[in-house]
Every structure is written in C-alpha cells, then in structure tokens.
A and B are shown apart, each in its own frame.
Chain A
C-alpha cells in the first residue's frame, strides 16, 4: 500500500505538488491523469524518490520512504517511461535482466525470468533476446520496457505515459495486454497519462490532477457519473461522456435471459464480455434494436436497446 499524506514538492517558488493526499491499495490500478505540468509525473517520481518530496509523509507498507535506502527502494519498484529508457548498448535480454542482476539473483534464475517475461509479453525469446533496442519497433521496445520494469518481481509498478508515443493500434494492443498482465499478476500499478480514454479503460481508481492539486479521486464509473467540476467534465470529453460510460459497462450486466422475442433470429451477435459501447455501435451499424449474446460459441441471452439506455427497463 502506498500512502501520501500532505506530500508537497517545491521547485524554487513553484509548487509542483501541493499537499497531496492519496492512498493506493495493494493490487489497485491507479491512474494519475491531467494536463501537462499538472504535477502527475512529479507525484509519480516522488514515489521512487527520483524526486525527493519537500514535506509531508510518503509511506510504502507503512515505511516512510525517505528513511529507506534509495537504491533498495527503487529495485523493489518497477519503472517504465515513455522513451523506454532501454540501454542502446545492451541486447534485450541484458536490458531485462538489469534489476534481477542488481538484486543478485543467480544466473540460472535470471535467464529463467527473462524467458518467462518475454513470453508474457508475446516476444519470442529466440527472436528477440539478442536484438538491440535500435532494431525494435516502438511497440516492441515498449514491451521490453514493461518487461524490464517487471523483471525484479516488484510489488509496485510505476509507469509514466508508457504508451504515449505509440500509434493508436499498437497502443490499444499494449493497453489490453497490460490489463491481461495485471489480472494475472496483481501488482499495484501507478500509471500517468494525459489521455482520459486510456485512464477510463485501464484504471480501477482515477486521480485527476491540476496545478499540483488533486481535483478528484474516484473509480471510472463514479467519475463519469459525478465529475467534481467543469474541469473534470471537460477532461471527460463533455458530450461524449455517455459513450465513455457505456464503454465501461459489460454486456453481461444488462443482458436478458432467453427466450427472447421471435425476431431474435435475425439479430447480430455480440460476446458476453464486450462493452455496451460496442453493442450500441453494432446496433447503429445494423440499424437494429437487439443483439444475440454469446459466450464463446453458445447463445446465452439477448440485449435490447432499452436495456443499454436504462438498467431498470423491462421489455
């Protein structure tokens, strides 16, 4: 658990972080979001002491981090940044093994770990282990960056706009993989982005920051329902909010059990774990008002348009 109490960072006369109070629980995916210069990166870097905080308490598992050894602390915390920070003179495998080696793992365990991580990130060992960062595409390099951050098996992972420089398709793939990995390994993630869609998609907890202060701290659904002020509402995209909210809800939550109406035979299909936003999009495209819901190959229910709009509607 990471806890910030009245944490403040002063650079000369400017307050980069102004009395931040924040609690990030074990296994949580916390996304700090805001415009550039709002203090989100500063807050992230204070957690691994790349930037020392000026005042306040910043504890990890109850220990004030300024009391801990700087390097030991950082080896326990994974760190990935937008420009990847991969060492250009080391091959991929050596880059990933950096923290395990710093932690003094045995050679066999290091190799095993590198293989395991490359597999986890869908990079075949034989093909990638010996390549140099200059030979990787942006997406591949970022995967290696994530693998390197995970290598020491840290409890906490800090990520500073890791997908910011990627094209939309690669970004989405990597977001999905990060979610998959998070579900698998349950790390505490602190993630910085300026992209609200990314935040809504990834986070279990969103922290909106502006001018060094926390404006609102809520789950994605709560944030969409009750933005604290106009600034948050604007960040949420104004009139697109409804669609964004639909993007957070699963078909499974609104599906009705079989048997449905007779006209169901011609209805298009959708998967159980897809979002309501996708369901709506399919309906608009096919100009229909209901969908057949599948789990894998088997038909499990149906979804009428009314149920997307209102949860309490009964057909």
Chain B
C-alpha cells in the first residue's frame, strides 16, 4: 500500500481520534459557550479531574477488560473446537449466545454485591460480559471454514498448532475482530456507567452533572464518551478490513 492510500484508509479513525484529542484538551477553553447552556451555575467546566485523566482511566479500564476477554475468549473458543474440548462445545456455544441476552447494566450492577465497589469489579464485569461476543464470533469464524480445507491441511502434515495459526486463525480473523469490535463498543458504554459503582471514567462528569442539574457537565462528558466510542469503533472497523485475508491478487 502506498503512503497516500494508507492515509486514506486510516483517515476516518484518524479524524475521530483528532476530534477526541482536541476535545479532551480544548473543552475547558469553551467556558463561555457552556455558560450559555448552564446559566446560573458558578462553575461550568468539570474540574474534579482533568479530562485527559478521565479519558486515560476510561481507556485503561476498557483496555484491560478487552485484554482479559480477548485472551480468555480466544482460549476458550479454541479449546472447545479442539478434539479434547469438544464435549464442552454445545454448552459454551449456548452460554455465549444466551449470555448476551443479559443487559450489561444488570451485569455491572450484580458485580457490586459480589465484588464490591471500585475499578476492579468494573473490570471484572466488563471482561466477563465482553467475553461473550468474542467467544461467539470465534466459534462462528472457526466453524465457517470448509472442513475439507482443514483435512487437507492435516493431510499435508501440518501440526495441530500450525493448522490453528496458519489456517484457522487467518481465515476466521475477520469475524473474530468483528466480535472484538462488538465487545469493545459495549464495554466503552458500560465503563461510562461504571462511574456509578466507583470507577473513575468519562461517565463522572455526566453523573455529577445529572446529580447537580448542571447540563454543561453532562454535555462535556457525553461529547467525550461519544467521540471515544466513535473513534474506537472506526479504528476496529479498519482493523477488521485490514486483517481480512486477501483472497485476490488484484489490488
């Protein structure tokens, strides 16, 4: 790919990323504007924590949760599709699809009685919930591969690990990244609600604004959460296209 093409390809995520960056640093400069929105409040720019810190923390929560759910999700999906784990395939398939009927907020709320308040229960709840779309999509991805292809791979003398890494994973990559995308999108939204269980995230300004009736705070939080979600989604969208196996020599 030429530099220009690459730039165009990553253009949309770059644009949203820039917007997020500018908003994080620039929102405090728009004090006059926010004063119009929330007249009668002495302070109209959220200042308990800097936006950069909130963004960083939000990203950290989602990132850690994603790391856990990707590794656990891939591992369990791979386990149940190997000969030694096949017993568990129906159960895991069913749980992965049924689990997604549970609303993420309810899962987050139920984490509190079991694990308490703070960042750790939030990460636990996020990674547990984020696991499901990844497991599901990995299973769909692996099962969408023609069995004859896998048989011929074994027939050529590839080891099970070689079949997994060189054939199954590349061919399922597109669908797997799709699952990661769903998982991360849900987790960014749920992490924002994590403010209510004591995690420091971009949801803080929104919650605090709602409690104090300060619309300016709500708006600042909402803008940043929205931009973060859109940036992450477009990044993963491009990543999905990028890892999709090439099956055509024409470019």
Query: A residues bordering B, Cβ < 8 Å?
Result: 48, 50, 71-77, 79, 81, 83-89, 91, 98-99, 102, 130-135, 148, 158
Contact = CB atoms under 8 A, between A and B. Distances in A.
B159 interface: yes
Chain B interface residue bracket vs A: 20 to 34
B247 A89 contact: yes
A85 B155 CA distance: 10
Contact of A81 (B152, B162, B249): B152
Interface of B: 146, 148-149, 151-159, 162, 166-167, 170-171, 245-249
- With most chain A CB atoms within 10 A of its CB, the pick from B155, B157, B166, B170 is B157
B241 to A, nearest CB: 14
Contact of A135 (B154, B158, B159, B249): B249
Contacts of A99: 156-157
B245 A85 contact: no
Which of B148, B245, B247: most chain A Cβ within 10 A? B247
A102 B245 contact: no
A87 B150 CA distance: 9
Contact of A102 (B158, B167, B171, B247): B158
Contacts of A50: 151, 154-155
B154 A91 contact: no
17 contacts: A48-B155, A50-B151, A71-B158, A72-B157, A73-B157, A74-B157, A83-B149, A85-B148, A85-B155, A87-B153, A87-B171, A88-B171, A89-B170, A102-B162, A131-B249, A132-B246, A134-B247
A89 B170 CA distance: 8
Contact of A132 (B152, B153, B159, B248): B248
Contacts of B152: 79, 81, 84-86
A83 B151 CA distance: 11
Contact of B171 (A77, A79, A84, A89): A89
5 A-B pairs with the lowest CB-CB distances in the bound complex, closest first: A85-B152, A89-B245, A74-B157, A75-B157, A79-B155
Given A73-B157, A102-B157, A87 B249 contact: no
Given A81-B151, A85-B148, A89-B171, A71 B157 contact: yes
Contacts of A87: 149, 153, 166-167, 171
A91 B247 CA distance: 8
A5 to B, nearest CB: 23
Contacts of B153: 85, 87
A88 B152 CA distance: 13
Given A88-B171, A89-B171, A74 B249 contact: no
B43 to A, nearest CB: 56
B41 to A, nearest CB: 57
B208 to A, nearest CB: 50
B246 A79 contact: no
